[in-house]
Amino acid sequence: MADLKGRLSTGIDQLDVRLGGGLLPGTLTVLVGSTGIGKTQVGLQFAQAGATQEGMPGILFDMSSRGDSQHHAEYAARMFGRELEAVVPRDRVELDDFFDANRFMGDYLHIFDQAGRRVSRRDLDFDQWQDWQAELTRRLNASIAFFYGNFVRGVRRAVVDGLEPVDRPSDSIQIELFEYVYHQILRKDPEWVARDLFREHYRANAEAIARHTYAPQTIGCMLLLTSHETTLDGLIERPLDEGDVLSNANTIIYLGKIREGTRFRRAMYVAKHRGSVCPDEILPYRIEEGGIVLE
């Protein structure tokens, strides 16, 4: 593994070198690409790299609402022999013995149990949109408990998947949820995250909360964003200011197809990497059993 000098490894050594040692902790990285291009593999490689660097692999938060599976468990088992433990999303979070060291929080949460269609204002009628807004509100406590519970136990990486493309960010339930997760959980002082979670039970748990803390600036988040564009040229040509998701990102990496003669290859391009080295070249890669490898 590359010498990271305080950086977070992507799990791809050749990419870490080109990023000046890896990703900056406390920042957001967005991977943008079409379905099947390799985003999930990169996300799992980033999460697994936490086992080496921090002693604990990262967690996966799945916002997908359609019927097609993201195959996280299958990929994790095949690539790393890792068995993801899914959390059942509940409207009411059990807070008794929340800080018990023997209570495993689970490392995979598929937050929405409805499935089969996109959850954007354009795809839903008024009543369906209101139902999804209510569903989102009911799922916030489960989301807080999942992230906070893992962070106080030493996890320092979060991968968020299932974000589908929309014309306007304000039309997406998933973007609304991600904005909440990123600003109100990942980047918020842990004491205030605990207040949001425990609410009227905060005082009774105040001592345990004070003993279990973490530094938000050490946590790295990788968001996997599905795009309409399939080619790398199409992704590179898109503007970088398309809503808060991309504007908040410290690092943006595009994954798409490039044409070489009579065949297509997969390649990535680092569109933005604030505060560090940013490679200018297009980086071809292939997908192997263990994940993505730069060529």
Compute the distance between CA of residue 283 and CA of residue 294 in angstroms, rounded to an integer: 7
Q: Compute the C-alpha angle 110/112/55, nearest 5°.
A: 20
Compute the distance between CA of residue 31 and CA of residue 39 in angstroms, rounded to an integer: 7
The predicted-structure confidence for 172-215, as pLDDT tens digits, reads as follows: 888 888 999 999 999 999 999 999 999 999 999 999 999 999 99
User: What pLDDT was estimated at residue 244?
Assistant: 64
Tell me how far CA of residue 243 lies from CA of 41, 167, 187, 224, in angstroms.
25, 10, 19, 15
User: What pLDDT was estimated at residue 3?
Assistant: 47
Interior/surface letters 153-166, b for 16+ CB within 10 angstroms, e for the rest: eebbbbbbbbbbeb
Compute the distance between CA of residue 61 and CA of residue 84 in angstroms, rounded to an integer: 12
What is Dmax (Cα atoms) for the chain?
A: 67
User: What pLDDT was estimated at residue 88?
Assistant: 86
Mean per-residue pLDDT over the chain, rounded: 89
The predicted-structure confidence for 132-162, as pLDDT tens digits, reads as follows: 777 778 889 999 999 999 999 999 999 999 8
For β-strands 251-260 and 263-273, DSSP reports them as antiparallel
Give me the half-sphere count of Cα atoms (radius 13 Å) on the Cβ side of residue 118. 14
The predicted-structure confidence for 263-278, as pLDDT tens digits, reads as follows: 999 999 999 999 888 8
Closest CA to 97 of 231, 201, 7: 201
The predicted-structure confidence for 85-143, as pLDDT tens digits, reads as follows: 999 888 788 898 899 988 878 999 998 875 556 666 677 777 877 877 777 788 899 99
Who contacts 50 (Cβ-Cβ below 8 Å, separation ≥6)? Answer: 8, 56, 57, 58, 155, 156, 157
Two structure tokens written together for 235: 């992704």
Q: List helix spans (H) across 31-125.
A: 39-53, 72-80
State yes or no: pLDDT of 64 exceeds 90. no
Two structure tokens written together for 148: 């906070």
Proportion of the chain above pLDDT 70, given as a percent: 91
Closest CA to 227 of 215, 209, 210, 245: 245
* SS3 call for 250: coil
Compute the distance between CA of residue 243 and CA of residue 245 in angstroms, rounded to an integer: 6
Compute the distance between CA of residue 15 and CA of residue 21 in angstroms, rounded to an integer: 8
User: What pLDDT was estimated at residue 241?
Assistant: 58
Query: pTM for this structure?
Result: 0.93
